[in-house]
C-alpha cells in the first residue's frame, strides 16, 4: 500500500498516528541536523521532518539526496509542528519520518512547479505534464470536471438523455472547415469530423428522443485566432415540442444552477435584448452588461453643422467614459492612437470633456458650442467628470470600433470584475448575413434555423431583414451559448437551402437524409449549444481557455508536447489510397 493518507488530509487529530504518504518533493530545507521536506500530491502539501537524533542515519542520509519533484513514499508518525503554518490545512502537523522509499527520481524541472511559475507559455506546453502539477492548471481541470458533472446532473434530472452521436460523419457545406478522415475500407472516400452534432441531434428529435444532450468534442479546421482550438467541447442540447420560451427557460435554469452550485451566486431572471437593440446600444451582439457606457447616437445633434466628417458619416455615435474628463492631452492622444490601430480601424476620435464646472471642452469646439455639446452629453448619458468619445463612419464598422473602445476602457477602468456575473439573452438574430466579399447571403447560425413566423416572404425581397427564432446566451461579454428553433418542415427547409445558394442536387447530396427524415413525422424542435471551454473559463474567472484544457494545441494547431501532427509513412498512405500533393 503506497499510502494510508493523502498529503492534504492530516490534521491535529492525527497526532501520534503512524501514517504512510506518497508524493512529490515540493521543496527541501536542509539545516544540517534537520531536514524538512514539503511533500505534495493532488490533495495538498504535508511537511516531513527528518531529524539527526530521531531519524535513522540511513534514512537521514537518503533524505539529503532528494531533489525537487522526486517521488517518494514515507512512513512516520504525525507530530505537532513547532512553527505552525496557518496558510495550509495541514499546517498544524508534520510527519517525523522513520522509513523512506525513493519511488522515482526527477531531473530538475524546466520551470518551477509553483502557482507563479518562471516558465513561459511555450515551455509549459511542451512539458504540459509538469504544468498540470501546478495548482492553477490542476484546479482548473478539477473545476471543469465539477462543471461538467453539474451540467449532467441538472439535465438528467430534467429528463434529458445523453446520447453519443458519431464522430465519423460526412462533410458538410461548411466543408472547407471540416477535418476529414480517409477511409481504408472505402477507397477514395472520406469521413468528416463533426463541427457540431447538429443534424444528428435533429434526427434524434425526429426519432422521438424528446430531450437530448451531450457533452461532446467538435472540430473545426480554421485559422486559429488566439484562444481558439481546433477541437473544442460543446454542451449540445435539443428538445422537441417546444417553443423558444421553453428552451430559454430550461437553459436559463441550467446556467442559474451552475452559478449557484459552482460559484454560490444567486442570479435574477436573465435580462433579454434583441439583436438590433444590442447592436445599437453596445455595437456588439454579445454585450458585456456588467457596466454601462451605452452608445448614444448623435446624428441628430451632431450633423448639419460645419463639421464635414460627421456630416458625411452614416453614423455618429459616442460613449460616456465615467470619470475620464481628467485625462490629459497625452492620455487622450494615446486613446486616439488605440482606436486607429489596424485591429480597431477607426480613422480618428472626437472627444468631449464634461468638466466639473458644467462646461464642456471638446476637440471640435470650432464647430460645436456648449449647447450642442450638452445635447451630446444628454444622448450619451454623460455626467460631469465624464469623457465622451465619439466615432463616426459606416454604421457596422463604427459600431464595431466603438464597441472595442468601450471594452478596452472598461478593462482599464476595472469595470470587468471577473467575480461578477451578468448573463443576458440576445434574441431575434437576423436569419441571414451578407458576405461582403461575395455579395451572397449565408445563414447567420446555420441552414436549419427557422425564420420568425410570417417572415419567410421577405426572403425574396429583403433577405437581410428576415429575423430568425435564434438566440444567444451571453455572459460577461462572451457568447457562451446559442441556438434556435429549427425548421421541421421539408418544404421550408428546401426553400431555405435554395436561398442559401444550394442547387436541389447539392441539398440532396448533403442533407438528403435530413430532408427524408422530415417526411416521416418530424416534430417541432429546437435547441442550443454551450461552448464548454469558454463557459468554464468564465465561471473560473479567467480570460483564457487554455488552462481549462488538459492538452491544448497552439495557434498553429500543433500539440507541441507529443509533436503532432506529424508525417506518416508511405505504407500507411498507400493503404489509405492517398498520396501527398505538396
| Residue whose grid cell is 458625411 | 312
> Is the Cβ of residue 165 or residue 469 nearer to its own copies in the bound state?
165
Contact between residue 391 and residue 334 where contact means Cβ atoms under 8 Å apart: no
Stretch (H or E) spanning 201 = helix 198-206
- Closest separation in Å from C-beta 562 to its own copies: 5
Residue 565 as a binder of its own copies (CB under 8 A): the answer is yes
Q: Is 229 annotated as a binding residue?
A: yes
SS3 call for 561: coil
> Is the Cβ of residue 33 or residue 513 nearer to its own copies in the bound state?
513
Find the binder of its own copies among 11, 122, 341, 578 (CB under 8 A). 578
CA 577, CA 582: separation in Å to the nearest integer? 16
Residue 243 as a binder of its own copies (CB under 8 A): the answer is yes
Query: What's the grid cell of residue 365?
Result: 469646439
Query: What's the grid cell of residue 271?
Result: 435580462
> Is the Cβ of residue 262 or residue 576 nearer to its own copies in the bound state?
576
Residue 438 as a binder of its own copies (CB under 8 A): the answer is no
| Residue whose grid cell is 451605452 | 294
CB-based contacts of 308: which residues, under 8 Å, 6+ apart?
Answer: none
| Residue whose grid cell is 489509405 | 576
> Is the Cβ of residue 217 or residue 305 nearer to its own copies in the bound state?
217
> Is the Cβ of residue 58 or residue 564 nearer to its own copies in the bound state?
564
- Closest separation in Å from C-beta 503 to its own copies: 14
- Closest separation in Å from C-beta 46 to its own copies: 14
Restricted to residues 35-74, the positions that interact with its own copies (CB under 8 A) are: 40-43, 69-71, 73
Residue 167-206 contact track with its own copies, rule CB under 8 A, x = bound: xxxxx---xx-xxxxxxxxxxxxxxxx-----xx--xx-x
- Number of amino acids touching its own copies (CB under 8 A): 128
Restricted to residues 246-305, the positions that interact with its own copies (CB under 8 A) are: 246
Stretch (H or E) spanning 396 = helix 395-412
Residue 79 as a binder of its own copies (CB under 8 A): the answer is no
Q: Is 416 annotated as a binding residue?
A: no
Residue 556 as a binder of its own copies (CB under 8 A): the answer is yes
Contact between residue 474 and residue 481 where contact means Cβ atoms under 8 Å apart: no
- Cα 351 to Cα 126, 246, 307, 315, distances in angstroms: 47, 45, 14, 16
According to DSSP, the β-strands at 296-297 and 315-321 are: antiparallel
Buried-state track 218-240, b at ≥16 Cβ within 10 A, e below 16: bbbbeeeeeebbbbbbbbbbbbb
CA 526, CA 530: separation in Å to the nearest integer? 14
Nearest to 535 by CA among 423, 456, 440: 423
Restricted to residues 455-514, the positions that interact with its own copies (CB under 8 A) are: 488-489, 512-513
- Closest separation in Å from C-beta 124 to its own copies: 12
Restricted to residues 115-174, the positions that interact with its own copies (CB under 8 A) are: 127-133, 138, 141-142, 144-145, 148-149, 152, 156, 161-171
> Is the Cβ of residue 168 or residue 347 nearer to its own copies in the bound state?
168
> Is the Cβ of residue 83 or residue 566 nearer to its own copies in the bound state?
566
Angle of helix 244-263 versus helix 135-157 axis, rounded to 10: 140
Nearest to 37 by CA among 14, 80, 5, 71: 71
Judged by CB under 8 A, the stretch of 325-333, 409-417, 466-474, 571-579 that binds its own copies is: 571-579
Find the binder of its own copies among 217, 290, 340, 397 (CB under 8 A). 217
Annotation: binding site for L-aspartate: 174, 220, 445, 486
Annotation: binding site for ATP: 220-222, 229, 479, 531-534
Amino acid at each position: 500500500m503506497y499510502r494510508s493518507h493523502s498529503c492534504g488530509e492530516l490534521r491535529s487529530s492525527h497526532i501520534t498516528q503512524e501514517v504512510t504518504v506518497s508524493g512529490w518533493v515540493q521543496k527541501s530545507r536542509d539545516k544540517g541536523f534537520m531536514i524538512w521536506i514539503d511533500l505534495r500530491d493532488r490533495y495538498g502539501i504535508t511537511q516531513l521532518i527528518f531529524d539527526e537524533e530521531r531519524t535513522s542515519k540511513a534514512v537521514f542520509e537518503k533524505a539529503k539526496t532528494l531533489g525537487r519533484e522526486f517521488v517518494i513514499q514515507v512512513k512516520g508518525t504525525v507530530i505537532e509542528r513547532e512553527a505552525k503554518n496557518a496558510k495550509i490545512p495541514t499546517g498544524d502537523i508534520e510527519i517525523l519520518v522513520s522509513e523512506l522509499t525513493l519511488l522515482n527520481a526527477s531531473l530538475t524541472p524546466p520551470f518551477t512547479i509553483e502557482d507563479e511559475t518562471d516558465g513561459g507559455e511555450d515551455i509549459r506546453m511542451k512539458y504540459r505534464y509538469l504544468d498540470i502539477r501546478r495548482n492553477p492548471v490542476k484546479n482548473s481541470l478539477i473545476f471543469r470536471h465539477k462543471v461538467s458533472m453539474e451540467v449532467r446532473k441538472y439535465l438528467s434530472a430534467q429528463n434529458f438523455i445523453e446520447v453519443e452521436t458519431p464522430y465519423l460523419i460526412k462533410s458538410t457545406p461548411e466543408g472547407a472547415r471540416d477535418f476529414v478522415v480517409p477511409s481504408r475500407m472505402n477507397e477514395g472516400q472520406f469521413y468528416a469530423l463533426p463541427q457540431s452534432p447538429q443534424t444528428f441531434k435533429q434526427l434524434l428529435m425526429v426519432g422521438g428522443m424528446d430531450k437530448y444532450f451531450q457533452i461532446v468534442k467538435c472540430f473545426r479546421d480554421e485559422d486559429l485566432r488566439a484562444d481558439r482550438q481546433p477541437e473544442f467541447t460543446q454542451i449540445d442540447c435539443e428538445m422537441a415540442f417546444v417553443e423558444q420560451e421553453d428552451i430559454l427557460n430550461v437553459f436559463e435554469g441550467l446556467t442559474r444552477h451552475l452559478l449557484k452550485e459552482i460559484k454560490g451566486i444567486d442570479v435574477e431572471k436573465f435580462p433579454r435584448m434583441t439583436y438590433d437593440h444590442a447592436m445599437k446600444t453596445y455595437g456588439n451582439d454579445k454585450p458585456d452588461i456588467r457596466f454601462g457606457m451605452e452608445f448614444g447616437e448623435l446624428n441628430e445633434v451632431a450633423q448639419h453643422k460645419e463639421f464635414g466628417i460627421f456630416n458625411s458619416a452614416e453614423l455618429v455615435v459616442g460613449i460616456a467614459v465615467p470619470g475620464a474628463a481628467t485625462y490629459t492631452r497625452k492620455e487622450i492622444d494615446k486613446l486616439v492612437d488605440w482606436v486607429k490601430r489596424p485591429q480597431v480601424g477607426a480613422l480618428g476620435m472626437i472627444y468631449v470633456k464634461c468638466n466639473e464646472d458644467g462646461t464642456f471642452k471638446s476637440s471640435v469646439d470650432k464647430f460645436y458650442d456648449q449647447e450642442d455639446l450638452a445635447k451630446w452629453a444628454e444622448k450619451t448619458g454623460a455626467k460631469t467628470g465624464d469623457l465622451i468619445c465619439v466615432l463616426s463612419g459606416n454604421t457596422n464598422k463604427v459600431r464595431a470600433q466603438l464597441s472595442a473602445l468601450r471594452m478596452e476602457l472598461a478593462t482599464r477602468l476595472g469595470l470587468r470584475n471577473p467575480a461578477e456575473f451578468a448573463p443576458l439573452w440576445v434574441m431575434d438574430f437576423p436569419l441571414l448575413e451578407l458576405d461582403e466579399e461575395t455579395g451572397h447571403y449565408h445563414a447567420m447560425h446555420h441552414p436549419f434555423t427557422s425564420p420568425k413566423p410570417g417572415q419567410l416572404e421577405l426572403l425574396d425581397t429583403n433577405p437581410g431583414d428576415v429575423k430568425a427564432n435564434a438566440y444567444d446566451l451571453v455572459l460577461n461579454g462572451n457568447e457562451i451559448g446559442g441556438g434556435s428553433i429549427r425548421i421541421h418542415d421539408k418544404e421550408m427547409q428546401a426553400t431555405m437551402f435554395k436561398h442559401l445558394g444550394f442547387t436541389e442536387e447539392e441539398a440532396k447530396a448533403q442533407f438528403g437524409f435530413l430532408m427524408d427524415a422530415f417526411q416521416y413525422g418530424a416534430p417541432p424542435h429546437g435547441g442550443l449549444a454551450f461552448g464548454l471551454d469558454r463557459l468554464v473559463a468564465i465561471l473560473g474567472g479567467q480570460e483564457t481557455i487554455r488552462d481549462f484544457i488538459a492538452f491544448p494545441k497552439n495557434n498553429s494547431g500543433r500539440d507541441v508536447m507529443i509533436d503532432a501532427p506529424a508525417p506518416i509513412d508511405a505504407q500507411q498512405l498507400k493503404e489509405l489510397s492517398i498520396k501527398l500533393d505538396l
